[in-house]
Amino acid sequence: MPFLSAALDRVKPSATIAVTDKARELKAAGRNVIGLGSGEPDFDTPANIKLAAIHAIEAGKTKYTAVDGIPELKAAIIAKFQRENGLTYTPNQIIVGTGGKQVLYNALMATINPGDEVIIPAPYWVSYPEMVALAGGEPVPVVCTAEFGFKLQPAALEAAITPKTKWIILCSPSNPTGAAYSRAELKALTDVLVKHPQVWVMTDDMYEHLVYDDFVFTTPAQIEPQLFDRTLTVNGVSKAYCMTGWRIGYAGGPAQLIKAMATIQSQSTSNPSSISQWAAVEALNGPQDFIPVHNKAFKERRDLVVSMLNQAKGIDCPRPEGAFYVYPSCAGTIGKTAPSGKVIANDEDFVTELLETEGVAVVQGSAFGLGPAFRISYATKNSDLEEACKRIQRFCGNLR
Ligand SMILES: Cc1ncc(COP(=O)(O)O)c(C=O)c1O
């Protein structure tokens, strides 16, 4: 009898974590490596948030809490949804988890039955299809090409929906492409969804605050109130508040779904860290003025990276609306030969050869469901970005 669960046959380890680990290994071995693989802001957690955590420790707020979050954090989340998204929730419609990742996982575990289909626009965040498969469902990727800004088109959505469709997972601004849906683009999708009452909407708004050039963020339940009763709006403090290590994510949704998610959480991890929850209260209720400051830096970095990558031979890099990723095509390099003699047959070869010869770590597009391309996270200092882009230019220039 096999020792490991058959569920493991349905999932693969995260490609983004694998690249980060490989880059760390090469660095430890003394190589000069620039890691553009990992998806977290390089900025430190703001001081007022850290202080709130210190105060929580000193005040002894270090015990178990309610599984689905302390009332103070739920209140801060309710106020956030009202203030920023025009969404009205009650405390029994809110859950707090250990990162946005756990919240998404809870929702899929709580709702997926064998054979249930989940529509996932590709390129997608690596964890969506894996979580769906682990829950016993069928991920249904729908490829969204650069021609349409990597965005799902209404006709493609309509074509992907079947009687077995349980969820669609939307992510805007997107990891991995940075693409974000305008109000009109999102409305065109919610118009389709209104006609299919069996389909629930899981919207991953983790990058809500990271938008540039006056882009206005909107979320499906805000645009289409008819979808409110079948939408789970997922968000978190990891990206906007530079709190990736604190592990706090949350969601608003129908009470019955939230209760089911809390049941899953109660039998797996219980409450998220009490100290992190108090820090998140301060993040959501406290000053928000550092966000535009960070965004100015991110926008400059995006512009730098897009411009330098478009000067690399065989690379074509669209300029996305948000997040801190770009998703250039490397189609123009496929079939070429590197100085090592290695033929670049696909994007995995491209990123492996780039890491080995130039010490730049990026993630292959095929891991996100659309290649040949690669993802760069530009949440790192300008001098490293500039040097990395120079190395990519040199790498591409040396392909024959
Ligand atoms: C699109 C997307 N959703 C969810 C998450 C998970 O966020 P957290 O770190 O809060 O679990 C990430 C993190 O990389 C992400 O990129």
Alpha-helical (H) ranges within 231-273 are 255-266
Calpha distance 255→277 (Å, rounded): 21
* Confidence class for position 363, pLDDT limits 50, 70, 90: very high
Name the helix (H) or strand (E) containing 34: strand 34-35
How does strand 34-35 pair with strand 360-361? parallel
23, pLDDT greater than 90: no
| Residue 123, preceding peptide bond in cis (omega within 30° of 0) | yes
The CA 206 to ligand 1 mean position distance, Å, reads: 6
pTM flag (> 0.95)? yes
For residue 138 the two structure tokens come to 């069928």
Instruction: Tell whether ligand 1 has an atom less than 6 A from the beta carbon of residue 243.
Output: no
Q: What is the pLDDT of residues 38-93, one digit of tens each?
A: 888 999 999 999 999 999 999 999 999 999 999 999 999 999 999 999 999 999 99
DSSP 102-156: HHHHHHHHHH--TT-EEEEEES--THHHHHHHHTT-EEEEEE--GGGTT---HHH
Instruction: Tell whether ligand 1 has an atom less than 6 A from the beta carbon of residue 325.
Output: no
| Residue 220, preceding peptide bond in cis (omega within 30° of 0) | no
- What is residue 285's predicted lDDT score, i.e. its pLDDT? 98
348, pLDDT greater than 90: yes
- Candidate of 101, 128, 172, 276 to mutate for ligand 1, largest count of ligand atoms within 8 Å of Cβ: 101
The count of residues in the chain is: 400
Among protein residues, the one whose CA lies closest to atom 13 of ligand 1: 39
- Average confidence (pLDDT) over 292-305: 97
Among protein residues, the one whose CA lies closest to atom 14 of ligand 1: 39
Q: What is the pLDDT of residues 148-168, one digit of tens each?
A: 999 999 999 999 999 999 999
For residue 396 the two structure tokens come to 């591409």
- What is residue 371's predicted lDDT score, i.e. its pLDDT? 94
Please, what is the average pLDDT of the chain?
Answer: 96
For residue 184 the two structure tokens come to 């009109």
Instruction: Tell whether ligand 1 has an atom less than 6 A from the beta carbon of residue 375.
Output: no
Atom of ligand 1 nearest to the CA of 174: 1
- What is residue 18's predicted lDDT score, i.e. its pLDDT? 77
Burial class (CB in 10 A: 0-12, 13-18, 19+), 164: middle
* Confidence class for position 350, pLDDT limits 50, 70, 90: very high
- What is residue 110's predicted lDDT score, i.e. its pLDDT? 98
Instruction: Tell whether ligand 1 has an atom less than 6 A from the beta carbon of residue 179.
Output: no
Instruction: Tell whether ligand 1 has an atom less than 6 A from the beta carbon of residue 235.
Output: no
Q: Which of 215, 209, 211 is nearest to 241 (CA)?
A: 209
Q: Which residues contact 311 (CB under 8 A, 6 or more apart)?
A: 393
Q: What is the pLDDT of residues 167-182, one digit of tens each?
A: 999 999 999 999 999 9
20, pLDDT greater than 90: no
Calpha distance 121→226 (Å, rounded): 22
Give the residue carrying structure tokens 């919240």. Answer: 103
Instruction: Tell whether ligand 1 has an atom less than 6 A from the beta carbon of residue 137.
Output: no
- What is residue 43's predicted lDDT score, i.e. its pLDDT? 94
19, pLDDT greater than 90: no
Q: Which of 120, 137, 138 is nearest to 204 (CA)?
A: 120
